[in-house]
Chains A and B, each alone.
Chain A
Amino acid sequence: MASEGGLEFHPMDQFVVTPLFGDGPVRWFTPTNVTLWLALVVLATVALLVLGTRGRGIVPNRSQSVAELAYGLVHKMIEDIAGKDGLKYFPHIMTLFMFIVFGNLLGLLPKSFTVTSHIAVTGVLAFAVFFTVTAIGFIKNGVHFLDLFWVRSAPLAIRPVLAVIEVISYFVRPVSHSIRLAGNMIAGHAVIKVFAGFAAIAAVAPISIIAVVGMFAFELLVAFIQAYVFTILTCVYLKDALHPSH
């Protein structure tokens, strides 16, 4: 506990899940701050992609341009990485991207709650991707999906070793996939909070504020990049499932 009037660092308070109404226990159905910010992510996505495009202009207005930019970004990413047959999963991947990008960006608002900073959330996303992609791989390619682990371009002698490595790396995917996103979000937000805490000392307050501004700009970048990275890795995994041969 911090003392009154002195330095107070509570960088992790922002991540605490609390009920929206009352002080009761957090049960699985309790509306919490998570619920609120998840709902805001949905609203933000709807605002951009649905309300923003309601003009359906041949010449787009600003919000429609941004919506089309997001659409084009993900669409092109899937097409470039996973190929044309990956476009079947475009709505799923777009859902992931919009969810993460708005989760990250809304988390940068002061007093907000960052849903994508929670392992529970990113873990569900990553494991959903993992299981879906694995299922697609086996459904599309049957046993040939296992070719993914049997590197034919390598000499026969080292193929078993490579297979072990490939299998391990395959199963580590969801872990790295989820922790990368959550870790980036936790670290950035915590660092901002710590810098902000230093503002209590008048002498270092200006530096602290400048640092917070700098970190915030950096975090804006990270928010977008992490959403991009998560999506692009999803596309790569999808590519492996659709075309498992090396």
Chain B
Amino acid sequence: MISLLQEAATTAVEHSEDAVADAAAHGDAAAHGAAEAVGLPQLDITTFGNQIFWLVITLAVLYWVLSKIALPRIAAVISDRQGAITGDLMAAEEFKQKAKEAEAAYDKALADARAEAGKIVAANRAEIQKELDAAIAHADAEIAARAAESEKRIGEIRESAIGDARAVAREVTAELVATFGGSVDQGAVDAAVDNRMKGALQ
């Protein structure tokens, strides 16, 4: 396998040298590049050492740059961003909590104010009721007093009316008895009149 490759490589090198000479002779080196490939250039093991040498250097440099500079930097940026996002979310959560608390405080204040207002209304109502009751009681008392007074005066008037009527009836009766020629027995007349009036006045 290896010997085959080497053989191929040596022939390839010979051919490519031929090709270089050929191309130079034709003056079209620029069109084809510096060399022309014979077979697969990938199998030309004379270039392997060169490729591997430079590749190892490249990988070492690349690894150094990535592990020392690029990747730590990107990792830091990403974790910073994560931190910032987490921080912002937490701050938002905090604000939300505060808003909730403020709402609760507002609700409580509102309820308190309502209760207070209710209390004031009740107190006022009670006071007014008391005043009203007092006024009604006062009015009732006055009405009762007035009524009693009126009752008394009506009683007096009635009493006096009865007295007057009795006197008038006695006089009229006595006058009538006298007119009809009887002798007036004042006592009998009074008794008779009183007897009649007892029924009428009751």
> What residues make up the interface of A, taking CB atoms closer than 8 Å to B?
1, 4, 10, 12-18, 23, 26-30, 32, 34-35, 38-39, 41-42, 45-46, 49-50, 53, 56-58, 60, 64, 67-68, 71-72, 90-92, 94-95, 98-99, 115, 117-121, 124, 182, 186
Contact = CB atoms under 8 A, between A and B. Distances in A.
Interface of A is mostly: helix
26 contacts: A10-B32, A12-B37, A12-B40, A13-B35, A16-B33, A17-B51, A27-B50, A30-B50, A34-B50, A41-B58, A42-B65, A45-B62, A49-B70, A50-B65, A53-B77, A67-B74, A68-B74, A72-B78, A91-B66, A95-B63, A95-B66, A95-B67, A118-B41, A118-B42, A120-B42, A186-B40
A17 B81 CA distance: 45
Contacts of A12: 37, 39-41
B84 interface: yes
Given A49-B66, A53-B77, 18 more contacts: A12-B37, A13-B33, A16-B33, A16-B34, A16-B35, A18-B34, A27-B49, A28-B53, A34-B47, A41-B62, A45-B66, A56-B76, A64-B77, A91-B71, A99-B59, A115-B51, A117-B42, A120-B47
Given A10-B36, A49-B74, A60-B77, A120 B65 contact: no
Contacts of A53: 70, 73-74, 77
Contacts of A29: 50, 53
Nearest to B60: A95
Contacts of A15: 37, 40-42
A34 B67 contact: no
Residue of B34, B61, B62 ringed by the most chain A CB atoms within 10 A: B62
Contacts of B131: none
Nearest to B33: A13
B54 A16 contact: no
* Dominant secondary structure at the B interface: helix
B52 interface: yes
Contact of A124 (B20, B55, B67, B75): B55
Contacts of A16: 16, 33-37, 41
Contacts of B41: 12, 15-17, 118
A94 B66 contact: yes
B55 A121 contact: yes
A84 B3 CA distance: 45
B26 to A, nearest CB: 8
A71 B71 contact: yes
Contact of A71 (B51, B55, B78): B78
A13 B51 contact: no
Contacts of A27: 49-50
Nearest to A186: B42
B69 interface: yes
